[in-house]
Homo-oligomer: A and B are copies of this chain.
C-alpha cells in the first residue's frame, strides 16, 4: 500500500526531494508555506521514511544495543535486570532511539551475536553488562569501533568507559550499620565471586570491619551467586557457625537466606539480623521488611543511556566514568532502632507500594 518514497512526496508537493528531506528532518531552512504544504502531504499519505536508507546515507542508525553476556545471563532470573532494561528502554524512547536486546545464552549465542554487534550500520553504541574477566565478547567489543559503555566496573578499567554504583561505600555503610547495632558475629553471603560487583561489595564489608577494629572470620564469608537458592544454601552452611547478623550481597539472596533461618525456627532479627542489597520492591513487602542498600536501578539505566549518547555524539575520549551513590534503607530485618528511616523515592516502586494493613 504505502510504498511511497521521498521522491513521491516531493512530486506530490511540487518540490524537490531535498526540500521534503528538510521538512522530515525539521531543518530550519524551509519556507513556512512550503513546509505546511509538504507536511500536509506527508500527513495524508501516511509517509514514513525508510530507516535503512536513512541509516545508510547518514551513517546513523539511532539504535543502541544492550548486551547481557553469557557469564551474567543468570541475571535474568534476578529482578535487577528487568528494572535495568526498563530504565534503558525509557531513556531510549526519550532520545528517539531504538533499543536492541542481546541476551547471550551460551557459547553458540555468543558466536552468533558477536558479528551482528560488530557489523557497521547496525548500532550507534553498545551498553554492555559487565561480566567475568575472561569474557571473550568483552574483549572483542572493547577493541571495536562502536562506542561502548560498560555497566558495572569492568575488570580491566584502563581506557574503558563505564558506569557503576559505588559498591564499596554502600557495602561499607551497610556493614557499619550492623556493627553499630552491636552485632558480634557478622557473616556475609557474596555474589558470584568473579564479578567486580561482588568483589567491591566484599571490599566494602572488609573495610568496615577493619575500621571498627574487628577481625574477620573467613568461615563467615560464604559464596553465593546472587540467586535466591544460593542464599538459602549459603545460610545452611552459615547456621552452624552461629552468626548474629548477615550481610547478603543481594536482596534475593537475603530472601533465600531468611527462608533457611525461618525453617530452623530462628527469629529475624532477634536471633539473626539481615541486610540486603538492591532494594527491590519486594524488600519492603516481605513479612519482615528488609533493611537493604537502595540501588537506583532504573535511574542507572537512564544515566547509562544518556552517557552513551553523549559518547556517540561527542566522541569517546577521554574515557567516561560515572559512579552513582547507593543509600542504605533501614527497615526491620536488621533489628535495632528503625526510626531514622529514609523516605524511599523513585519509579521502581510503582505498582508494589504497599498500603499498611489495617
Contacts and interface: CB of A to CB of B under 8 A. Distances in A.
A223 to B, nearest CB: 15
Given A228-B285, A353-B229, A82 B90 contact: no
A120 B56 contact: no
Contacts of A262: 287
A52 interface: yes
Contacts of A101: 85, 89, 99-101
A98 interface: yes
Nearest to A286: B259
A336 interface: no
A229 B86 contact: no
Interface string A273-300: 0000000011001010000000000000
Contacts of A121: 50-55
Residue among A82, A93, A228, A282 having the largest count of chain B Cβ atoms under 10 Å: A93
A346 B274 CA distance: 33
Contacts of A109: 90, 93
Contacts of A93: 103, 105, 108-109, 112-113
Interface string A342-358: 00000000111111010
Interface string A48-70: 11111111100001010000000
Given A229-B354, A285-B229, A354-B232, A103 B120 contact: no
A79 interface: yes
A77 B119 contact: no
A76 interface: yes
A26 interface: no
A282 B81 CA distance: 17
Copies of the polypeptide in the assembly: 2
A228 to B, nearest CB: 6
Interface of A: 1-2, 48-56, 61, 63, 74, 76-77, 79, 81-82, 85-86, 89-90, 93, 96, 98-103, 105, 108-109, 112-113, 115-116, 118-122, 145, 227-229, 232-233, 236, 259-260, 262-263, 281-282, 285, 287, 350-355, 357
A90 B52 CA distance: 25
Contacts of A98: 100, 102, 116, 122
A24 B195 CA distance: 37
B229 A100 contact: no
Nearest to A285: B228
A99 to B, nearest CB: 5
A339 B57 CA distance: 65
A55 B121 CA distance: 10
A98 to B, nearest CB: 5
A115 B48 contact: yes
A37 B120 CA distance: 23
Contacts of A63: 100
Residue among A102, A227, A352 having the largest count of chain B Cβ atoms under 10 Å: A352
Nearest to A77: B351
